[in-house]
Amino acid sequence: MSDIIKILPSDVSNKIAAGEVVQRPSSVLKELIENSIDANSTRIKIIIKDAGKNLIQVIDNGEGMSRNDMHLSFIKHATSKISKIEDIFSISSMGFRGEALAAIASVSMVEMESINDNQNGHFIEINGGELLSEKESNIQEGTSIKIKNIFYNVPARRNFLKSDFVELRHILDVFHRLAISHPEIEFSFINNEEEIFYLKEESLNKRIISIFGEKIRENLIPINESTQIANISGFVLKPEFSKKSRSNQFVFVNNRFIKSQFISHSIFASFVGLLKDGYHPGYFLFIDIDPTKIDVNVHPNKTEIKFDDDQNLYSIINSSVKHCLGIYQVSPVLDFDKDPSMDISYDQVNSKPTNPTIEINSEFNPFEVFNDEEINKVPGDYLSSHNKLKLNDDNNQALKIFQILNKFIVSTNKSSLIIINQNLAHQRILYESFLKSIFENSINSQKLVFPIELSLTKKQLLLYNKIIDEFKSIGFEISLKNELMHVESIPFGIEKNNVEEVIENILNEDFNVSNDFSTADFFAKRLSKITSIKSGQKLNLDEQEYIVNHLFSCKEPNLSPDNKQIFITLNKNDIENKFNG
Ligand code: ADP
Ligand code: MG
């Protein structure tokens, strides 16, 4: 018998390989967006027609390609991302097999335009893997790639595509995953001529809200744990927000979306007792792990992953999620837009790699530093709707509360002395109430008989335009004519005489807030600082009581909006030690 083994022509092998990479329009979109991300784009535009069956276009402002590289990019195993086998184990870019474009081109009609630093723009057109034409292009930046008529030359596969509705859903899944893991990139998404997403560069929580809608805002619980094995961050959705589907489950390992049963299970197990039957928790979990400890190459679509240390990772994720749920249960998340570190106000637990344990103290209260066990009963009194404090109710004594140095409020309970910084305490109270007004849009203002007129500088105007919504939502009614501001209403709680100072003070601040801080947070912080009771101010008993009562009704009574300690306590031992020491 003569030899029967043949090497397949490359167009046939590419078509076969295409089956692995290109299952449907959404898999093409994923490869294209990932290439744009790898090219360091900061702006990516996606244009889809007929659920991607007739057009998938991705336009980026990335590094682009030379004319030669454009040709090479369609050859199998052509990649700029790895050159030796070790690279695979430490790869940080999205794609690296160098087969996506070759596979896609073999089953579709492709037009690509690109420009890079050194050359003029270029255009090439490829049908079914064959170069059809090329010419100069006047593209100004980055790369634009159009994939038309997917599977036009493999009718069996084209017929296999599902309805537009189903294919578009897959496309949106892919888009959501990439948009969530890259909030630093601006995305626009146009479906059949209609822009359905415009996502500006933003922080992660904003990105999640931009995609899933305002309702998700108050359901996000921040999670943040660092351990020797992995760092876990992101958001977990409150148990009340769980769904019958798993559609709100996102896990990213080293910023790459993955599916992993054991990770889902470890999160699910953390919710035990908190979910109704048949409901699934929601989460946006980012796991950062040494890339040499994982193998992402186990599946061509790279959404599956193998970890070297499954068991420990399981426990770490499980404990971290429990930890953040524990914190939320005792102090509901009012505003996640602020620095998430503030939500974890007690010491973060460093999980040991071998046997991670994270304790959840469901009894957490502002007095947990006290040694006296009985003290756990106190917060109920603080939080009661009565305005009268009952710190000393065991002895039926009158409340002991007084001010010292015109700066601190001193109070006592059964066995401890509490010394509260009046300025910081008031900042905290105002901060939380301003945030609440902003988020609930609960306007609470008084009309001014004579509007106040203020003239703004260009810089102030710029900042004002950024935080105009916050001004409104807190109770300011302001109209702007040229650079002249007319203040018509002001929030309750702000003195008429102070208005000018308050506004100037807010608008003179440099707004260079890091991503974790929202404009709302910035605004509430500034305003609380400006309008709070200052050190040196003498307070009457009512005012002192007001501070103490309201402070301990706050979500986070321990720390000021700028993370300063608001009060200290001296318990029996502390005091006795002073005498024995
Ligand atoms: P891989 O991404 O695995 O390297 P691909 O087939 O997806 O393989 O892409 C091949 C090469 O084409 C990439 O390595 C990259 O150099 C280049 N390339 C593809 N898309 C772009 C883009 N949008 N911008 C710049 N270069 C790109
Ligand atoms: Mg790629």
* pLDDT surpasses 90 at 27: yes
CA distance 162 to 450: 65
Tell me the pLDDT tens digit for each residue of 201-258.
Answer: 999 999 999 998 888 898 999 999 888 889 999 999 999 888 888 889 999 999 999 8
Is it the case that residue 136 has pLDDT exceeding 90?
Answer: yes
User: Does 60 sit in the ligand 1 pocket, CB within 6 Å?
Assistant: yes
Average pLDDT over residues 98-102: 86
Query: Using 50, 70 and 90 to split pLDDT, how confident is the model at 143?
Result: very high
Mean pLDDT of 29-34: 96
479 Cα distance to chain centroid? 33
Per-residue pLDDT tens digits for 172-187: 999 999 999 999 999 9
Among residues 156, 143, 176, the alpha carbon closest in space to that of 16 is found at 156
pLDDT at 360 (0 to 100): 38
Distance 96 CA to ligand 2 centre (A): 6
Please give the C-alpha separations between residue 375 and each of 130, 416, 418, 500, in angstroms, as whole numbers: 79, 9, 13, 45
Contact 438, 474 (CB under 8 A): yes
The segment with the largest mean pLDDT, out of 28-42, 149-163, 477-491, is: 28-42
- Choose the weakest-confidence range: 128-132, 143-147, 359-363: 359-363
Q: Strand 283-289 and strand 256-258: pairing? A: unpaired
Measured from the Cα of 94, ligand 1's closest atom is 2
Residue 523 has pLDDT above 50, yes or no: yes
Of all residues in the chain, what percent carry a pLDDT higher than 70? 78
Pick the closest to residue 309 from 287, 325, 286 (CA basis).
287
pTM higher than 0.75? no
Output the average pLDDT for the chain: 80
Helix (H, G, I), strand (E, B) or coil at 353: coil
Q: How confident is the model at residue 363 (pLDDT cuts 50, 70, 90)?
A: very low
Cα 35 to ligand 1 centre (Å): 5
Specify the higher pLDDT residue, 175 or 380: 175
Please give the structure tokens belonging to residue 575: 């005091």
451 within ligand 1 shell (Cβ under 6 A): no
Query: Is 548 close to ligand 1, i.e. is its CB under 6 Å away?
Result: no
Strand partners, 226: 231
The secondary structure of the chain in percent helix, strand, coil, rounded to multiples of 5, reads 40, 20, 40
CA-based nearest residue to 229, from 166, 307, 175: 307
**How far is 561 from 564, CA to CA, in rounded Å?**
7
| 95 Cβ closer than 6 Å to some ligand 1 atom | yes
pLDDT digits (tens, 9 = 90+) for 329-345: 644 444 444 333 333 32
Q: What is the DSSP string of 127-179?
A: ETTEEEEEEE----SSEEEEEESTTTT-HHHHHH---HHHHHHHHHHHHHHHH
Q: What is the pLDDT of residue 3?
A: 79
Sign of CA dihedral 83, 86, 90, 94: positive
**Tokens 């209260």 belong to which residue?**
365
The protein residue whose alpha carbon is closest to atom 19 in ligand 1 is: 35
Give the residue, 353 or 232, on which the prediction is more confident.
232
Report which secondary-structure segment, H or E, holds 463: helix 458-466
